Structure 1
């Protein structure tokens, strides 16, 4: 069976139910935003935002996101951020964790695209070592970049990975990940630099439902998404681009934590049976991130 899937014709399963199950995450890792700010521009959302973060408000928003994960029932674990690494709070990017069928915990460390963020990775590697994960690395001589769960998103409850590429992660990275974890990877090329990570335009809600911004994908990518998910909820341009609607997080297949004000998307989510928890992440939007970027789901 093909482990790296780039077109709908390569799908080897008739239904997502044909794939091996994987436990839902039990823990969430977050990084305190004590040193968070916009000090440089490495994505379109950061333009004109340098020096404009209200740090007091950012900390309030972060604590509210943390409290929502706690309310949903996840075990919140904390890493302290570091001076000089203002984007470390976006802890979806530095790694890709995995739990295998023997319940052994593994993690691939990222190769960050921007030079400003490369020094973040060792702090996460140290945390994973201290918490019993087997560490894996990509070959930097062959693979230019890979930004963890910003682009690599696990299908809810299944051993299937969705892999975005084109802006922050290299397509070649997914072959190594697929071979190491022995899981299929469906690759999605990102077509718009405004949606620079997969998690800005694609949110897995449960096994059969995804939330997407369709204009961020190629025709092949949209075919793959619609071939696998029975229900695809679409976000309109304003809510996707300005409010990061698709950067929501649904860790348990029921509860969706999302930036406040996504009126149209929230109605669609509620009509589909999801519980919606709105939260302000306005200070983090200045850096091009929201709820999904601010956490790492773990087992």
Structure 2
């Protein structure tokens, strides 16, 4: 079932089926990363401004951090002519069903410039033994994978953002196809064009969020289901993409360096922030969460 309003909720997080946290990480090399077009507000003024040597150093530091935390990191080579393929959270949605079946839903990218990225990820997951699911032609609109669709930590519950990149009709299909509940959140600010730029789920009961990115119904849904919402200052959210942080284990939070107030609030809530530099990727509208894909 797809939920649009807080008064539709007929469950709690605790009553949703469990789902283990993924332990494998996919990253795509940044060898071809660049800003060559503008498809989100963060790209404005940055065409041709990427330092690829620095981008590679920042990418390697993120890869090394996941490895040090004990995750199994897989690396896929980026493809020429696909400068945004490095943001590998967007091309698929990995899932794990109760019967143990592993699969991915293939994205239908909104921007034509990014559509050729999807087959590369599809081939990777097919080689991993994953079932590939494509959105049927009769389901309208685009879908941008884990840029907009986020699994609730430890539960088979999906949060889905829509308004800029993903069509809400896709979530109805996902709910039926995967047999899960989907909470849909309307994104209203173009700076927060993906859900992963304004909501970071840390553990089953805690999340970072940017209130201004959502409408009243979205904020009500978040407050009803997540008991500990940590508000991110708008400057850090807009300029440093603080909400594009990632908490892979319910404890450590990988986040852009310099998000001072957000980091203080994370520490006060009992988390361990790990500051990383993603300045080159910020120029394209992405940071930590965009640069990896967790899979089962």
Q: TM-score, with normalisation over the residues of structure 1?
A: 0.98
CA contact (8 A) 2:89 2:290 kept: yes
Quote the residue 2:208 is aligned against.
Answer: 211
CA contact (8 A) 1:281 1:290 kept: yes
CA contact (8 A) 1:258 1:291 kept: yes
Q: Deviations over 1:44-72 (max 9, x none)?
A: 00011000000000000000011111111
Q: Distance in 1 between matches of 2:58 and 2:204?
A: 29
Q: 1:190 aligns with which of 183, 187, 192?
A: 187
- Structure 1: gaps spanning 5 or more residues: none
Quote the residue 2:233 is aligned against.
Answer: 236
Q: Which runs of 4+ in 1 moved over 4 A?
A: none
Q: Deviations over 1:33-91 (max 9, x none)?
A: 00000011010000110000000000000000111111111100011000000000000
Are 1:70 and 2:71 matched, yes or no? no
Aligned partner of residue 19 in structure 2, secondary structure: coil
Quote the residue 1:98 is aligned against.
Answer: 95
CA contact (8 A) 1:92 1:150 kept: yes
Q: Distance in 1 between matches of 2:192 and 2:2?
A: 23
Q: Distance in 2 between matches of 1:144 and 1:172?
A: 7
Aligned partner of residue 108 in structure 1, secondary structure: strand
Aligned partner of residue 90 in structure 2, secondary structure: coil
Quote the residue 1:10 is aligned against.
Answer: 8
Q: Distance in 2 between matches of 1:86 and 1:140?
A: 27
The Cα shift of 1:18 comes to 1.2
The Cα shift of 1:187 comes to 0.1
Are 1:22 and 2:10 matched, yes or no? no
CA contact (8 A) 1:239 1:262 kept: yes
Q: Distance in 2 between matches of 1:18 and 1:254?
A: 23
> Cα RMSD (Å) of the superposition?
0.7
Aligned partner of residue 264 in structure 1, secondary structure: helix
The Cα shift of 1:141 comes to 4.3
The Cα shift of 1:143 comes to 1.8
The Cα shift of 1:140 comes to 3.6
Aligned partner of residue 116 in structure 2, secondary structure: helix
Q: Deviations over 1:113-164 (max 9, x none)?
A: 0010000000011111111111111124432200000000000000100000
Are 1:245 and 2:262 matched, yes or no? no
Q: TM-score, with normalisation over the residues of structure 2?
A: 0.99
Quote the residue 2:133 is aligned against.
Answer: 136
Aligned partner of residue 73 in structure 1, secondary structure: coil
The Cα shift of 1:29 comes to 0.3
CA contact (8 A) 2:89 2:147 kept: yes
